[in-house]
Amino acid sequence: MHVIREWRDAGDLINYSDNQNSRLSRKNLASRLDFPFETGCRAIDASGERASATLVMLTRNSELDNVVSSMRSIERHFNQWFGYPWTFLNDEEFSALFREEVQKHTKSKVEFGTVPAENWNFPTDVDKETLDEYIQSQGDREVLYGNIESYHKMCRFYSGHFYDHPLVQKRDWYWRVEPDVQLFCDLTYDPFVEMAKHNKKYGFNVVLEELYYTIPSLFLETKTFIAANGIKLKSAWDIVVNQYQTLVDKTGFSYFNWKNHDDLRQQVQRNLILNRILKQESKTDKDLAKIQKFKNARNVFKDAYKMPGLMLDMIHDEEYNLCHFWSNFEIARTDLFLLQTYQDYFKHLERVGGFYKERWGDAPVHSLAVAMILSKEELHYFRDIGYQHSSLGHCPNNAPGKQLPYVSGGFDDYAPELWYSIFLRGSQPDAPVKNGIGCRCECPRGFKSIEDTSSVCVKRYAQVLSDDYTPFRAIEMEALQAQVEKEIDEYLAAGGTLGDADQFPKSEKRMPFVRGQ
């Protein structure tokens, strides 16, 4: 008997207070703002409406085998039913062999384009010797891909000129595909049509942390751009930043390294109590003994000498948490990156030279821009799509009671040899699992999903999109102190003493926030 999953199964939701990696792949991440377009399989509508969209790949002639591998996987699991055109881009002309070979692996229209030299190469005003020096330095410091000039060019192209190409710009939507990717599940609905129907503008499949030393100044330059242009940030910004508030109380004590509201209240409490003890006139040995008895006093002095925590990129009480959408899988509106705000953002990044002085990837650039420009409900996590590129990927569990038999859309006619590793002859989709959402998924044996191996950013996305998420609110320090002072007075009036305040009862009062937030 199949287990029927309700859209919110309370016993399997995420515990956001748990900082440890957990089996997120077994959790229900759906919310009212973002949920799978289809749980399990949908009966395919081959005659349904189609969007203005293309599958687009930037590649080289030398990558032909990996290109074909990607095509066969995507055709088998999706495009044999929906027939979207393929667009191939290269900074050189495609060979006749390349053109002929890729056409064999799809029934759809195929277009080939060349990237203009001025869009691929760095601006002519960048000194070549200086550029080489920066790139060599990154190699010496072992920055991942930092010593490969073509990699820098690719990241710059995808960040700023990918959308300028006429073969991309003429479509409303694109699905970015890389050479050597595999899908693990059947996608039986049209993602472009569903994105439009649900007012989504940017879709991703993997979200993870970036390597800090590839982008040490990117957040600073992003914040500089935001301030200089008066950008009003949208709600998606919460996904990519950790927000803090440095508070100073009436005694002049600064509160910076507080973890949560309870921790802050306890710090205020102990400092106000200690301040009362120290302000007592005509202290006796008995009074001084109160300080020795008050264990929290030692914490105050210890904190005074403690080095502050390292904030790699703290600017105006915000820190980039390094979460980024892995841009080698993107399903998005083309005009998102043609917006003037994005174009100006790219020009700013270009001007400061981070695409060669550092190894800025297009993924963190896209992610910060998307978070800056979009509301969180305009994002979509394609969690139901099983996907792998290089050693990383995601593979969902199959949905109980929502599986349908595979029906060929013609793939077997134009690609009869199912030679690649995912769907070998005689293989079967994985057994459905509670909270599963996939359609006919077959995850490789031993495969570990990014949701289970590096869950920090998946959890952050799910938390910000969750139904009960509360955005960061600034605390009114004067009101908080008044609350705590009153609680201390009530504690003393009830017979408590300052020296016994380690047992001070936990406050039941709400945290006072700055009005208007």
pLDDT digits (tens, 9 = 90+) for 434-487: 999 999 999 998 888 889 888 899 999 999 999 999 887 778 888 888 888 888
Mean local confidence (pLDDT), 41-57:
95
May I ask the CATH class of domain 26-38+53-237+320-465? alpha beta
Nearest C-alpha neighbor of 413 from the set 36, 66, 76, 112? 76
- Dist. CA 357–CA 127, nearest whole Å: 12
Predicted pLDDT of residue 253: 76
Better pLDDT: 423 or 267: 267
Radius of gyration of the chain (CA): 28
Distance CA 479, CA 510 (A): 11
Nearest to 375 by CA among 471, 238, 222, 474: 238
Q: Give me the amino acid identity at 465.
A: L
Bigger pLDDT: 315 vs 296: 315
Q: Of the candidates 140, 74, 64, which has an alpha carbon nearest to the alpha carbon of residue 102?
A: 64
Long-range contacts of 158-161 (CB under 8 A, 24+ apart): 158/58, 158/327, 158/362, 158/366, 159/346, 159/349, 159/355, 159/360, 159/362, 159/365, 159/366, 160/346, 160/349, 160/350, 161/115, 161/119, 161/120
The residues carrying an active-site annotation are 330
| pLDDT per position as a tens digit, 13-28 | 787 766 665 688 899 9
Q: Count the helix, strand and coil residues of the chain and give each as a percent rounded to the nearest 5.
A: 40, 10, 45
> Which DSSP helix (H) or strand (E) runs through 207?
strand 207-209
User: Average of pLDDT values for 156-163?
Assistant: 96
The mean pLDDT value for 369-387 works out to 98
Over 80: is that where the pLDDT of 261 sits? Answer: no
Largest CA distance in the chain: 97
In angstroms, the first-to-last Cα distance of the chain is: 49
Quote the tokens at residue 121.
């190469």
At 186, list the tokens: 């059947």
Q: What is the mean pLDDT of residues 359-368?
A: 98
Is the pLDDT reported for residue 302 higher than 60? no
What is the per-residue pLDDT for 352? 97
SS (H, E, C) 237-273: HHHCEEECCCEECCCCCEECCCCCHHHHHHHHHHHHH
Phi, psi (rounded to 5 degrees) for 131: -60, -50
* Residue that has been written with the tokens 């032909």 in this structure: 64
Over residues 129-148, the pLDDT tens digits come to 999 999 999 999 999 999 99
Per-residue pLDDT at 292 exceeds 60: no
Q: How far is 48 from 146, CA to CA, in rounded Å?
A: 45
**Ranges assigned E (strand) in 1-80:** 53-58
> Given pLDDT bands bounded at 50, 70 and 90, which one contains residue 416?
low
Give the DSSP H/E element, type plus range, for residue 407.
Answer: none
CA distance 459 to 203: 17
Q: What is the pLDDT of residues 317-361, one digit of tens each?
A: 889 999 999 999 999 999 999 999 999 999 999 999 999 999 999
Place of tokens 């199949």: 2
The SS3 assignment for 114 reads strand
Residues in CB range of 251: below 8 A, 6 or more apart: 271, 272, 275
CA distances in angstroms from 263 to 34, 93, 472, listed in the order given: 32, 61, 16
Domain span(s) for CATH 3.90.550.10 in the chain: 26-38+53-237+320-465
Confidence of residue 299 (pLDDT cuts 50, 70, 90): low
Q: How many CB atoms lie within 10 A of CB 123?
A: 11
